[in-house]
Amino acid sequence: ERAGCGFSHVKGPSLPPSATQHRPELAGAPFEAMGVSLVFHPLNPYVPTVHMNVRMISAHPASGASVSWFGGGMDLTPYYGFEEDAQHFHQVCRDALSPFGDHYHARFKKWCDDYFYLKHRKEARGVGGIFFDDFNELAPELNQAMMQSVGDHFLKAYLPIVERRKHMPWGQRERDHQLYRRGRYVEFNLVFDRGTLFGLQSGGRTESILMSMPPIVKWRYDWKPEAGSPEAKLYTDFLPHRDWLAT
C-alpha cells in the first residue's frame, strides 16, 4: 500500500542534539551524515510491515581528529503473528552479524527490543530484529562491513515472508486490525524514533522524513481484542519479548 526507499546525505555546521545524546563532547561540531532507509506497509494484513536502516555519521571537531560511527538494523511488525516468520527473520539477522562476532546478535536483538518499545503503552511495536547505533568499536573497515552486511541481508530476511503470506485471503476484520495496529507505528515514529528527530532537527525534507508513515491509520478508544482470537494472539504470543531462536 505504501513503500519507500530513502537515501540521505546531509552536512551541517553543528551536530543536531539527537546525534550528540551519547557524545556530548562533540556538541557543536560540523558533521556529515549518510543513510538508507526502507519502509514497506503492505496492503494484505497478513504480510508484516518491515523497516531497515543503515547509516553513518562523521563529526569534525575543531580540537581533534574526525570521528565516525555507524548504525542500523531491521525490524518486523506483523499484524497477525506466525512463528515461522519471526524465527526466519531473526535467523537471518543473526547470520548478518555472525562474521563479526558471536555476541553481537544477542546484544543487538536486546537493543532492538528495548528501542522499538512504546513506553506509554508498555508494549513492543512488533517482534523486533536487530538495532545498533553509535557503533565504531571494530576496525574502521569492519565497522562499515558490518553495517553493509545488515543491508545485504534485508531481502533474505523479508522476501520469503512476503511470498508465504501475500496470497492469504483477508476481509474487513483483518483490515480494521491492521489499521488499528498501524497507529502504534505512527506513535513510535513521532514520539521516540531518533532517525525522525535527527531528520527534522537537521533541516531535512519533511515529506521524505515522514515517508515511513502508513497511508491510512485508525485509532479506537480503549479497544481490546476478543479473548482467544487471532488478534489477541498477537498480544499474548508475539509482542512480549522472546528468544525466537531458542531450541
Residue 247, class by beta-carbon neighbours within 10 Å (0-12 exposed, 13-18 middle, 19+ buried)?
Answer: exposed
Query: Nearest 5°: CA angle at 49, between 221 and 86?
Result: 105
> Distance between CA atoms of 112 and 74, rounded to whole angstroms?
9
CB proximity list for 136: less than 8 A, separation 6 or greater: 67, 68, 69, 70, 143
Q: Is 51 a catalytic residue?
A: yes
Please identify which of the residues 9, 22, 41, 51 carries the catalytic annotation: 51
DSSP code, position 23: -
- Say how far residue 224 (Cα) sits from the centre of its chain: 25
Q: What are phi and psi of 149, to 5 degrees?
A: -65, -40
Angle, helices 83-97 vs 154-165, to 10°: value is 170
Single out the residue of 134, 131, 87 nearest to residue 109, CA to CA.
131
- Do residues 68 and 140 touch, judged by C-beta distance below 8 A? yes
Q: Which of 155, 167, 176, 181 is nearest to 238 (CA)?
A: 181
* Residue 196, φ and ψ in degrees, nearest 5: -60, -45
For 50, the grid coordinates are: 518491515
Would you please indicate which residues are annotated as catalytic (active-site) residues? 51
